[in-house]
Structure 1
């Protein structure tokens, strides 16, 4: 569809809100421009566009109407083809009714011979066969089953089971395929949709079409399709009773044709209509059931034409909605019309361009002069506005440094009126450079001649102020001999604030240095105290251990069993206290020793630690996986202590595991970094107590279960932190533990 064209009137555009109004003299000059040439060129362009658009619109509408008439004719042909093919189904069914007119009830062989003679599958591929359904009141059902068995057809089982007033079991259905054999005996009269069609055929004596049903053969064939039935009533004698009251009494059954609607539509359409898209709806009884929709992917572009037709077909009301192809396919000549339209637009633009060039050549010189005059006027107006309303003081200076013009902001900073400032030397407002402490803070730019300086300004009847000066040259002349522009910004308060900040920073630095020194002294005193206490405790411990040993050796015969037990517990406690003192001393040395940074091969150290553990317990079978080439920069002895504690813990806490596994490697973190890890499948620990792991003498397992002093992981944390790294732990009780730590320069060696 053609979208409406939009044009923009230049006169309707709003002027920018802050743009100054043009001066009267500019309006007078603009009236001198030869506007008639531009107006004539525009009129030629508009007329050409109107002619091109009108011709294209007429041709397009003609082509669309022609294509729409052709489309509606094709829909009528398709509708007629579908109706004719349904009439063929009725003729086939009436042939079956005629067979009942000649024989009261034909045998299965006679029915088969008739159907084979019709050659249904070749002529009508959408049909599943031709069948007969009996009209059997409940009182005659057993008699029918006996006759069926006596005729040699076997046992007639009516499905679904249950007692009903009237049954409509399928008795004949040919051709005799496996799917058709399975449906023999199905009571179609018990299913609502089939029942409605069969009842309508019984009452009217005419062929009737059912609504949408699920064909019984689809279950056997594994298909999902829309099925329909065309049913005709069969009365005694083959004819229809004249009296409606006698029709039910003389009813024998129904001849019916089951067919798949998808296949029916495909075989009914001629080759010229395969591309036509449509949908079939069943509106019977006020419904709107979709029976069929053309398969395939729906085009992205909307259909060019839509057409809807409604008709009666064997007691049902069908509505078919047709959709044409998109406009490019439905109207093949539309592309040519577009090319014609584009060519017409190009021709109109060419005519307009020729006329515009002629008008533009005449006025170009005047436009250039007028534009230069207006640009100069606006530039001067902007400069004057910047001078007048700027919050920074500004002054124009002549070649001798005298003030030619000054803005109100400068007058306010100096404390003089604008008239008093004029013709004064600007340097006279400043204090002498030799006595000005800020005069040395100058910045010069030799390329553009701009330089800045901080000077002291003498105010009239006021305190001197610190000002930031920016000198810049003014090229040319602005009405008189003006060579420079100076900007004056009062920075007194800012300098005072900076001085206060510097003073506060110096005070804060002194306080931080004092607190740092005090903290360092306190740490040194604590370390000296711990070292001294550890050494001082050894003498009484040795005395306790020695005297208790002598007591046990010399007086063992005088002590009873309880006494000897108490004595053993004393010696054991003294020994454990000695071990704790050794651990405390070792931990103290970790913080006092000086770090020696060097390249350290962690993979080699880990292998040596594991080898020592295997020598200590050769009977254990532990699978240890160590990633190769793991190197860091740090103190080799401390890092050996770190791996010894972590791998030793993993070795200790996996003693009850079979198989026991320990892994040392390098992993990526969620944040994009990398960290080392030591992981095992040992006893593990509750994650809720992870904060206690790295505290000295904190244990999550009893000494009886796992020996230790509770100082190993605290030492590991101190070693990692002394190297500038971090450590964390993850664990689950009974499922193992993992320790992750970072070290400087950690990674794979090259």
Structure 2
């Protein structure tokens, strides 16, 4: 026989529900429905929070991944520039062809996508300007000149820039030192001797189409043999800059590997998130309308890169939490509600069945009591004694004729053993069927006896066997038979 711990869960649940059904189940059903709805709401909230926490972790990981990618890519570009500086310092005069060979063999655009080119800008003193211009024109560029025109104490001129395509040719001869933002970065690079990023600029390579904001990365080249311990010494010894121009969108797409990921971000060349400081916006030019700013996840990071402080503002896109992830919490809520409703209906049904059973039992009890009263009324008016015996052969009922015939009062008769009423014990009778016994002597309370013929019937009242005995006094009949 299985114990309660080994019963199936469903069986134990049904048994529990049946026990609950003993109570008026209407209020119970509503109470359980309220509790189960609360549990469902909590389960939905916890599942939603779990999905959101997972998405938040994924968002933070991708933000960190992007941050590391930017830092790593700028470090790689720095190595590109250091290679160019090494080339300049290893030779007394690096020719244009040698610079091109260095660029082509390094395959920068293949291994470092996003870089616009690698160039060299030469520092030219005012008194040497004309001679410098003539030397470049002699290389086959008769229209070469330092731009913009004007008298300045010191010039810088872009003389090498690879790949030397149509876009980069627009920068050929440009004096970057003449523009305030570029000059500030070049002076900072000279002062530190380290690679330095400029502020936001519009590259001279830009045309009227697909205009992008840009910046430049500078690394100064110093004259060999000159002291460079102090910033003043470095300013006097600088001969030029190996530099790289960057178009911000081309750069970030090269780092990002995709134009439309599930995270949008903006890069600001400042700690202030202003439009003037905006270097890159991943949503442009792809989105025709600005975003509403209701992203699920938002994070702002600060990067210190080669002398500049960049601020990157990340926002998740609406589909960052996928439909499949959102469906999990909805499924929890739907299944929970379905179970709640079914549980409510089951308990309500059990309650209705219980109430029906109680009503039926009350009706049966009422009918039984009515039949009992009718039976008692018949027995009470009968002329012959009628006795009911229980399974232990004790009197549980005797009609008035019985009390008159045996001389017992009602209280004396109830509980009396059949042995006191009959000379031969009824225990000897087989209670298999109704029987009629002749010449059975009955014993009165005073010990006197009288002959009687009895009829016995048996039935079960649900708990035990009951014997009904009808006693007919045959004293007068026997006396008549003897005459």
Q: Which residue of 2 aligns with 1:315?
A: 307
Change (3 A) 1:272 1:149: closer
CA contact under 8 A between 2:181 and 2:199: conserved in structure 1? yes
Q: Cα distance, 1:38 vs. partner? A: 4.8
Change (3 A) 1:302 1:152: closer
- C-alpha distance in structure 2 between counterparts of 1:205 and 1:340, whole Å: 61
- C-alpha distance in structure 2 between counterparts of 1:338 and 1:352, whole Å: 21
Change (3 A) 1:125 1:304: same
CA contact under 8 A between 1:134 and 1:252: conserved in structure 2? yes
Structure 2: unaligned runs, 5 residues or longer: 1-22, 357-483
Q: Which residue of 1 aligns with 2:264?
A: 277
Pairing of 1:463-542 with structure 2 (within 5 A): none
CA contact under 8 A between 1:282 and 1:317: conserved in structure 2? yes
Q: Which residue of 1 aligns with 2:296?
A: 304
- C-alpha distance in structure 1 between counterparts of 2:320 and 2:335, whole Å: 19
Q: Which residue of 1 aligns with 2:187?
A: 199
Q: Which residue of 1 aligns with 2:3?
A: none
Q: Does 1:172 align with 2:160?
A: yes
Q: Which residue of 2 aligns with 1:88?
A: 76
Pairing of 1:102-121 with structure 2 (within 5 A): 102-121=90-109
Q: Which residue of 1 aligns with 2:253?
A: 266
Change (3 A) 1:114 1:37: same
Q: Which residue of 2 aligns with 1:324?
A: 316
- C-alpha distance in structure 1 between counterparts of 2:174 and 2:340, whole Å: 77
CA contact under 8 A between 1:168 and 1:187: conserved in structure 2? yes
Change (3 A) 1:292 1:258: same
Q: Cα distance, 1:106 vs. partner? A: 1.7
- Matched position secondary structure for 2:114: coil
Q: Cα distance, 1:337 vs. partner? A: 1.9
Residue of 318, 341, 344 corresponding to 2:336: 344
Q: Does 1:189 align with 2:199?
A: no
Pairing of 1:413-432 with structure 2 (within 5 A): none
Q: Which residue of 1 aligns with 2:454?
A: none
- Matched position secondary structure for 2:199: coil
Q: Which residue of 2 aligns with 1:243?
A: 230
- Matched position secondary structure for 2:236: coil
Q: Which residue of 1 aligns with 2:280?
A: 292
CA contact under 8 A between 2:263 and 2:320: conserved in structure 1? no
Pairing of 1:573-584 with structure 2 (within 5 A): none
- C-alpha distance in structure 2 between counterparts of 1:172 and 1:328, whole Å: 45
CA contact under 8 A between 1:63 and 1:331: conserved in structure 2? no
- C-alpha distance in structure 2 between counterparts of 1:339 and 1:359, whole Å: 30
Q: Cα distance, 1:232 vs. partner? A: 0.8
Q: Cα distance, 1:329 vs. partner? A: 3.0
- C-alpha distance in structure 2 between counterparts of 1:63 and 1:229, whole Å: 42
For residues 273-316 of structure 1, the C-alpha deviation after alignment (integer angstroms, 9 at most, x for no partner) is 93332221221589662221223347889433222221111111
Q: Does 1:141 align with 2:133?
A: no
Residue of 38, 42, 57 corresponding to 1:50: 38
Residue of 30, 44, 53 corresponding to 1:65: 53
- C-alpha distance in structure 2 between counterparts of 1:180 and 1:166, whole Å: 23
Structure 1: unaligned runs, 5 residues or longer: 1-34, 364-750
For residues 575-595 of structure 1, the C-alpha deviation after alignment (integer angstroms, 9 at most, x for no partner) is xxxxxxxxxxxxxxxxxxxxx
- Matched position secondary structure for 1:127: coil
Q: Cα distance, 1:98 vs. partner? A: 1.0
Q: Cα distance, 1:223 vs. partner? A: 3.0
Change (3 A) 1:138 1:208: same
CA contact under 8 A between 2:271 and 2:311: conserved in structure 1? no
Question: Relative to structure 2, which stretch is displaced further, 120-129 or 314-323?
Answer: 120-129
Q: Which residue of 2 aligns with 1:518?
A: none
Q: Which residue of 2 aligns with 1:234?
A: 221
- Matched position secondary structure for 1:40: helix
Change (3 A) 1:360 1:293: farther
Q: Cα distance, 1:356 vs. partner? A: 5.7
For residues 370-425 of structure 1, the C-alpha deviation after alignment (integer angstroms, 9 at most, x for no partner) is xxxxxxxxxxxxxxxxxxxxxxxxxxxxxxxxxxxxxxxxxxxxxxxxxxxxxxxx
CA contact under 8 A between 1:104 and 1:236: conserved in structure 2? no
Change (3 A) 1:140 1:301: closer
CA contact under 8 A between 2:113 and 2:254: conserved in structure 1? yes
TM-score (normalised: structure 1): 0.40
Q: Cα distance, 1:189 vs. partner? A: 0.9
- C-alpha distance in structure 2 between counterparts of 1:238 and 1:114, whole Å: 24
Aligned residues: 328
Q: Cα distance, 1:45 vs. partner? A: 1.5
CA contact under 8 A between 2:226 and 2:237: conserved in structure 1? no
- C-alpha distance in structure 2 between counterparts of 1:113 and 1:154, whole Å: 23
Q: Cα distance, 1:233 vs. partner? A: 0.8
Q: Which residue of 2 aligns with 1:224?
A: 211
Asked which structure has the greater RCO (Cα within 8 Å, sep 6+), the reply is 2
- C-alpha distance in structure 2 between counterparts of 1:287 and 1:299, whole Å: 16
For residues 418-440 of structure 1, the C-alpha deviation after alignment (integer angstroms, 9 at most, x for no partner) is xxxxxxxxxxxxxxxxxxxxxxx
